[in-house]
Homo-oligomer: A and B are copies of this chain.
């Protein structure tokens, strides 16, 4: 049987998986630090739910059993989830009676999309989502928490700096209404293209759908505004447009930006060019970019929405959330060899094996080290020490332990320096930096 990779289904080597695990663990710790509760949803949803809420470009994988029997046609109607929002909405409705609101949840799982694979697009990939859902209402403070949390996660990951851009749908809509425009959605969709197609082409498209020259000019000026909360608010005011929704949008954007003032300058920027194509969002919108790798586009994004689920009956479930594209972030960095790890395995110490008769001594050294949480392997055969050291070297295991004739005596070699010293297996600890593999970002060509 021929073995080959399947396009769009990435698979990592063990040392890359170590990196991915650390990234996921960092996200998990930050989410929990803010009190988010974990859930996982089943990988499948009924097809009608997926097809109803999915846009056509998110191709759904449908499941059928290999020996399908007509009387079990239920199965024929399951599909793999293509995001974590549709299953989260269903989960929240299904388990509502057991949840406490505001419900802060995080969810880190793989999703599947049958899209045509291309650079940066995957058919199977990890997403890390957080959302806060209220019943009937949800205070703005949760919106303000999102950029903090995104910055908290992204700044702790071994990836190029991520800058969080904050836009606001109410502000944009209020501004356009203040200009006398009623049909907002097409204008937002065109403005969303500004960074890609430039001011000239955007202006022409706005003129085409009927905006007068003054409105085109003001819309373009607005969409170009970027900076801290005060700067942007002042610049909006200077454009001289007045509308109650605009005022509310500016106030909300300022409150969100105020919440981030203690972060490093430029970590979070107000950016009125961020409109986000989805009609879904109704307030703040967030996108995170890596200035070092602009071609990657947004590596995290989200926003405020009025209602999590359209089929919740009389209950309204407003929410705010963001999603981090773990695979989308790591895949290109792996491919460019920009993530280095200090070793290829969890093992910190390789205990050498002198001869078969002393195996129990090697084992007992390993047991003593493990008892203090030090990942340890015993070499599997009494080969020449040179071969045993070569095995450690190949995997980047930093230490080789040579048990002595008496228990409790032995020598430890740091194979990076070649320095060998007497050591006691009941007491020795590696430096904190050496206990587990460490990941760091390597300089590389921007992309």
A66-90 Cβ-contact flags toward B at 8 Å (1 or 0): 1100000001001110000000001
Q: Spot the interface stretch: A8-16, A286-294, A398-406.
A: A8-16
Taking CB as reference atom, which chain B residue is nearest A42? B9
Q: Is A51 close to B, CB under 8 A?
A: yes
Q: Is A270 close to B, CB under 8 A?
A: no
Q: Is the CB of B59 within 8 A of A67?
A: yes
Residues facing B in A114-170 (CB within 8 A) are 114, 124, 139, 141-142
Q: Is the CB of B375 within 8 A of A91?
A: no
CB distance from A413 to the nearest CB of B (A): 17
* Given the contacts A1-B311, A377-B34, A6 and B94 also touching, CB distance less than 8 Å: no
Contact of A64 among B40, B61, B380, B381 (CB under 8 A): B61
A252-274 Cβ-contact flags toward B at 8 Å (1 or 0): 00000001001000000000000
Taking CB as reference atom, which chain B residue is nearest A10? B42
Q: Spot the interface stretch: A239-247, A328-336, A339-347.
A: A339-347
Taking CB as reference atom, which chain B residue is nearest A94? B3
Q: Spot the interface stretch: A98-106, A175-183, A208-216.
A: A98-106
CB neighbours (8 Å) of A359 from chain B are: 141
In whole angstroms, what is the CA distance A41 to B12 when docked? 8
Tier of interface size on chain A? 35 or more
Q: Is A233 close to B, CB under 8 A?
A: no
Contact of A376 among B10, B35, B60, B67 (CB under 8 A): B35
Residues facing B in A281-321 (CB within 8 A) are 311
* Given the contacts A14-B38, A32-B375, A124-B44, A66 and B60 also touching, CB distance less than 8 Å: yes
Q: Is A394 close to B, CB under 8 A?
A: yes
CB neighbours (8 Å) of A13 from chain B are: 39, 95, 98-99
Q: Is A49 close to B, CB under 8 A?
A: yes
Q: Is the CB of A1 within 8 A of B41?
A: no
Q: Is A438 close to B, CB under 8 A?
A: no
In whole angstroms, what is the CA distance A101 to B95 when docked? 47
* Given the contacts A17-B38, A34-B370, A63-B63, A93 and B3 also touching, CB distance less than 8 Å: yes
CB neighbours (8 Å) of A66 from chain B are: 47, 51, 59-62, 79, 114
- New A-B pairs, 13, CB < 8 Å, besides A63-B63, A100-B394: A12-B39, A13-B39, A17-B38, A33-B374, A36-B346, A56-B67, A60-B66, A61-B64, A63-B80, A64-B64, A75-B114, A104-B377, A141-B378
List, sorted by A's number, 17 A–B pairs whose CB atoms are closer than 8 Å. A3-B311, A6-B46, A6-B78, A12-B39, A17-B39, A20-B40, A32-B346, A33-B370, A34-B370, A35-B347, A35-B376, A37-B346, A59-B66, A60-B66, A61-B66, A65-B114, A100-B394
